[in-house]
């Protein structure tokens, strides 16, 4: 098992599937600027989804998107990766120091020997500021490793599944947003309801104060339950 350098990669790289042999690694669209001494910098592609917004966003040249503080994003890569058909190559996706140092989460995931298609990368913003990424901007690096022997078991991860993952991510994000909204508005509504009811029944008396206290207690209980 060995790590492929840029010198190794240029020997097996092709920019399209036509005419490729079993030994060829295909990356398209390919950019010479993305080739590093020990890998290739992957760029932001055309579809992203973030946990703090509902719905995916489609990007084109010149577009950008932001990841809010504490939010997670699923980012498709601009590049299609077609691993060699002989299954003697695997991939490892790592973070770029320039991104991690600004607050993005560390990335470490694998690419199976028989992978073919765009990749879906999850990143989280740990910083207190919004993080902006632009279509075509490099945001992680794929490193290629030569396997000791060809793999036998198929990865069973087809490119079409990217939409499935994004759909599930969007559903969970929508549920989380709804829960946050309920958590934010339910407690004051409860307190207001008990206060109004108490004032209607007891006017400005001890009974009114007790109603307010009960409303506060119930709102705190509801808030605690929603936080679980």
> Residue 108: its pLDDT value, please?
82
Residue 212, both tokens:
């307010």
State pLDDT tens for residues 43-93: 999 999 888 777 788 999 999 999 999 888 889 999 999 999 999 999 999
User: What is the spatial distance between Cα 89 and Cα 155, in angstroms, rounded to a whole number?
Assistant: 13
2-159 topology per CATH: Deoxyuridine 5'-Triphosphate Nucleotidohydrolase; Chain A (2.70.40)
Distance of CA 7 to the CA centre of its chain: 31
Where in the chain are the domains?
A: 2-159, 174-226
Helix (H, G, I), strand (E, B) or coil at 70: coil
Classify residue 208 as left (phi > 0), alpha (psi -120 to 50) or beta.
Answer: alpha
Greater model confidence, 25 or 227: 25
- Are 127 and 67 in contact by the 8 Å Cβ rule? The answer is no
CA distance 115 to 160: 12
d(CA 6, CA 37): 5
Does the global pTM surpass 0.95?
A: no
For 164-179, the pLDDT digits (tens) are 555 665 566 566 555 5
Per-residue pLDDT, 203? 61
């Amino acid at each position: 098992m060995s790590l492929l350098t840029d010198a190794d990669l240029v020997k097996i790289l092709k920019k399209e599937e036509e005419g490729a042999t079993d030994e060829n690694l295909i990356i398209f669209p390919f950019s010479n600027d993305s080739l590093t001494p020990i890998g290739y910098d992957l760029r932001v592609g055309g579809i992203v989804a973030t946990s703090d917004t509902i719905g995916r966003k489609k990007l084109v040249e010149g577009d950008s998107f932001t990841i809010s503080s504490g939010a997670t994003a699923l980012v498709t890569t601009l590049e299609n990766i077609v691993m060699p058909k002989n299954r003697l190559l695997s991939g490892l996706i790592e973070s770029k120091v320039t991104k991690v140092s600004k607050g993005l989460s560390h990335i470490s995931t694998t690419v199976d020997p028989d992978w073919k298609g765009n990749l879906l990368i999850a990143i989280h913003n740990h910083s207190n500021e919004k993080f902006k990424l632009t279509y075509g901007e490099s945001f992680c690096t794929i490193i290629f490793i030569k396997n000791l022997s060809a793999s036998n078991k198929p990865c069973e991860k087809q490119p079409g599944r990217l939409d499935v993952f994004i759909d599930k991510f969007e559903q969970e994000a929508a549920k989380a947003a709804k829960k946050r909204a309920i958590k934010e508005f339910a407690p004051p509504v409860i307190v207001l309801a008990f206060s109004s009811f108490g004032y209607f029944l007891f006017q400005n008396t001890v009974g009114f104060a007790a109603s307010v206290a009960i409303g506060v207690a119930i709102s705190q209980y509801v808030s605690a339950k929603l936080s679980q």
